Structure 1
């Protein structure tokens, strides 16, 4: 589906999504017109889904990150839907993932400090519907975090 030129464009685009088409085409060694057409084709195909800005929440004073592994009461027909809808409403929940296996859902929760986390945990997380079990995993360090694909 992608040829070498598309891959060159995507590699440069991943490295710096703020590049103008002219600068991107120069780095990818393709004409500006061809670069623009290929970018539009990849957007239309859903390969490029947009650009996003990443905000460093730790720099804004959120020093605690906890991953919560949740097992739901699967005897309840709407357990997943109701749990996810309630978890989405919590501003401290940055990410929600679902799984097949012993863990049904993982929540990524941030807080300013341990006191704030305990308040969020006790007053909001523990009141989410249909939880059968919850296991918090305290984040200690990020060793590698990379969204780039090996193109």
Structure 2
């Protein structure tokens, strides 16, 4: 099934399900049905369709990175010397395999990629830059911006 369905295929109940699950992914189907004023079976069918159609990719808990000792948050711009060959593909695969890379985006503008990276300390971040990023073939420049204060962080989409 296609995961690129148009937005207009969602009705108000579908959007409410998505909004409620973004707020609390542990909501049981009976509790979700109660909040929607639906019976359990139709609610389950809607939820199953949203999952099958790819609107809901997975479920996870949102963790506090600082409580886990991940005090450094860096936004890293990567620029390649050339855009041909297999180097960008190898870079993307390598970034996907790095647990400290929270996100990797191919972007427009002065850089080719924008990474969001966490680390336990500046020394640990420096090790990542030296032992991972600087070792990637084709990387011409690395520009890091360290977050001084987190004003807003989240992954909830406006539905």
| Shorter-chain TM-score tier | 0.7 to 0.9
Query: In structure 2, which of residues 53, 61, 68 is the aligned counterpart of residue 53 of structure 1?
Result: 61
Distance across 1 between alignment mates of 2:31 and 2:115: 39
Select between 40-49 and 20-29 the one with higher mean Cα deviation: 40-49
Aligned counterpart, 1:145: 153
Partner of 1:127, secondary structure, is coil
SS at match of 2:15: helix
Aligned to 1:12: 20
Is residue 31 of structure 1 aligned with residue 46 of structure 2? no
Secondary structure of the residue aligned to 2:145 is strand
- Give structure 1 stretches of 5+ with no counterpart: none
Q: Superposition RMSD on alpha carbons, in Å?
A: 1.8
How many residue pairs were aligned?
151
2:71 to 41, 44, 63: 63
The answer for unaligned runs of 5 or more in structure 2 is 1-8
Residue from 101, 107, 114 that aligns with 1:106: 114
What are the Cα deviations for residues 107-136 of structure 1, in whole angstroms up to 9, with x where unaligned?
A: 222221122222222233221221111111
Q: 2:143 aligns with which of 107, 111, 135?
A: 135
Q: Which runs of 4+ in 1 moved over 6 A?
A: none
TM-score between both structures, scaled by the size of structure 1: 0.87
